[in-house]
């Protein structure tokens, strides 16, 4: 059997997806990017292939994407995360219906991508200059509040009253603001919800730059945080779709593109 690998080397996490020739999802794995992207990407791939009982010879095409994609020199192809994200999102959202707008929040950036009726990227906007509105900001807030990032969602729903406003546009000042709110006896839950609404407002500004088209989809690690999802939906006044595994859709898109490139190359040979 032939298999295809998509490797997304993100600023915070490495995500790997393996699919077969029928585009069936065989398996996925996530590990921290750490300081040695290349080494960890190989380790993660080896571990995933071992788990799946697939040998390296059975991998016929590998596509690398993400911030550190150029470091994975063994890849047959490397593509931008915007393209991979769009392909993966369209495939992951098949049962949901057509998606026209993708919101992606990663470790160090956030993006809004606009798609046409065929699922092609027509426009995108990106924030990679400022930590506010990214996963790193959520990580720092969770750390200041002495809770895990995976607890943020649940805490959000326990907030009472009007969400607190976090006004600082810079992540460093926002962290000081959070410490100030703690000093003023505000609850962790109310602060968490305030953080989510401040990120939601930033992300919506980004989405407005490409145009808010119905069929809104959200992925990246922070899409696992249902509190953030709730804040974005409330601020937008629209429902958004979250795939089952939101952190791995970009690597899924890379694997799909790998299968397409391989099929095209085989066709050219005949
Ligand atoms: P990148 O592709 O830039 O490496 P990811 O899409 O992997 O980024 O997102 C990483 C971010 O996802 C982390 O910084 C963290 O804030 C968030 N995250 C990861 N796992 C969870 C979780 N279980 N619950 C909530 N947020 C999470």
Return the CATH superfamily for domain 1-93+246-270. Answer: ATPase, nucleotide binding domain (3.30.420.40)
The pLDDT of residue 29: 98
Q: What is 95-242's CATH number?
A: 3.30.420.40
Residue in 248, 259, 257, 249 with CA at minimum distance from that of residue 15:
248
pLDDT at 168 over 80: no
**What's the rounded mean pLDDT across residues 155-167?**
89
Name the residue at shortest CA distance from atom 26 of ligand 1.
222
Separation CA 239–CA 121 (nearest Å) = 21
Where exactly are the structural domains of the chain?
Answer: 1-93+246-270, 95-242
The pLDDT of residue 195: 94
CA of 220 to the centre of ligand 1 (A): 6
Phi then psi for residue 251, to 5 deg, are -70, -30
**At 163, is the pLDDT very low, low, confident or very high (cuts 50, 70, 90)?**
confident
Separation CA 51–CA 186 (nearest Å) = 46
In tens, the pLDDT along 23-78 reads: 999 999 999 988 888 899 999 999 999 999 999 999 999 999 999 999 999 999 99
Radius of gyration of the chain (CA): 19
In tens, the pLDDT along 209-248 reads: 999 999 999 999 999 999 999 999 999 999 999 999 999 9
Say yes or no: do domains 1-93+246-270 and 95-242 share a fold.
yes
Structure tokens at 157: 């729903």
- Mean confidence (pLDDT) of the chain: 94
Residues of the chain above pLDDT 90, percent = 83
- Which residue in this structure is represented by tokens 């393996």? 18
pLDDT at 89 over 90: yes
Separation CA 158–CA 17 (nearest Å) = 35
**At 124, is the pLDDT very low, low, confident or very high (cuts 50, 70, 90)?**
very high
Determine the residue of 15, 126, 149, 254 to mutate for testing ligand 1's pocket, defined as the one with the most ligand atoms within 8 A of the Cβ atom. 149
Select the more confidently predicted residue: 174 or 113: 113
The pLDDT of residue 218: 98
Determine the residue of 221, 230, 251 to mutate for testing ligand 1's pocket, defined as the one with the most ligand atoms within 8 A of the Cβ atom. 221
CA of 43 to the centre of ligand 1 (A): 20
**Are the C-beta atoms of 126 and 85 separated by less than 8 Å?**
no
**What's the rounded mean pLDDT across residues 98-126?**
96
pLDDT at 167 over 80: no
Question: Buried (b) or exposed (e) across 132-142, using 16+ Cβ within 10 A?
Answer: bbbbbbbbbbb
CA of 57 to the centre of ligand 1 (A): 31
CA of 223 to the centre of ligand 1 (A): 8
In tens, the pLDDT along 3-12 reads: 999 999 998 9
The pLDDT of residue 15: 97
Separation CA 164–CA 196 (nearest Å) = 10
Residue in 240, 255, 260, 257 with CA at minimum distance from that of residue 104:
240
Name the residue at shortest CA distance from atom 15 of ligand 1.
135
**What's the rounded mean pLDDT across residues 112-127?**
95
pLDDT at 128 over 80: no
Please identify, by atom number, the ligand 1 atom nearest to the C-alpha of residue 105: 6
pLDDT at 171 over 80: no
For strands 13-20 and 3-9, give the pairing. antiparallel
Separation CA 20–CA 49 (nearest Å) = 13
The pLDDT of residue 209: 96
112 three-class SS: strand
> What residues does ligand 1 touch, defined as CB less than 6 Å away?
10-13, 66, 106-108, 135-136, 138-139, 149-150, 220-222, 224-225, 247
């Amino acid at each position: 059997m032939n298999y295809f690998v998509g490797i997304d080397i993100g600023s915070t996490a490495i995500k790997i997806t393996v699919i077969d020739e029928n585009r069936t999802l065989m398996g996925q794995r996530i590990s921290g990017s750490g300081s040695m992207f290349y080494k960890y990407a190989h380790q993660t791939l080896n571990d995933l292939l071992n788990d799946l009982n697939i040998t390296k010879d059975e991998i016929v095409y590998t596509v690398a994407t993400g911030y550190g994609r150029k470091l994975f020199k063994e890849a047959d192809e490397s593509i931008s995360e915007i393209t991979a994200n769009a392909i993966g999102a369209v495939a992951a959202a098949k049962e949901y219906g057509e998606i026209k707008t993708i919101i992606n929040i990663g470790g160090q950036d956030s993006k809004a991508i606009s798609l046409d009726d065929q699922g092609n990227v027509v426009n995108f906007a990106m924030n990679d200059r400022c930590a506010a509105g990214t996963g790193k900001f959520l990580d720092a807030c969770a750390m200041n509040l002495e809770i895990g990032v995976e607890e943020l969602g649940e805490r959000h729903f326990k907030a009472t009253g009007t969400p607190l406003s976090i006004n600082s546009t810079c992540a460093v000042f926002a962290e000081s603001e959070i410490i100030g709110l703690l000093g003023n006896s505000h609850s962790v839950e109310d602060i968490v919800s305030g953080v989510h609404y401040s990120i939601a407002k930033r992300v919506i500004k980004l989405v407005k730059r490409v145009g808010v088209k119905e069929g809104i989809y959200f992925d990246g690690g922070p899409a696992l945080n249902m509190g953030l999802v709730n804040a974005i939906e409330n601020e937008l006044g629209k429902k958004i779709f979250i795939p089952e595994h939101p952190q791995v859709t970009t690597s899924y898109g890379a694997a799909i593109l790998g299968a397409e490139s391989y099929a095209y190359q085989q066709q050219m040979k005949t």
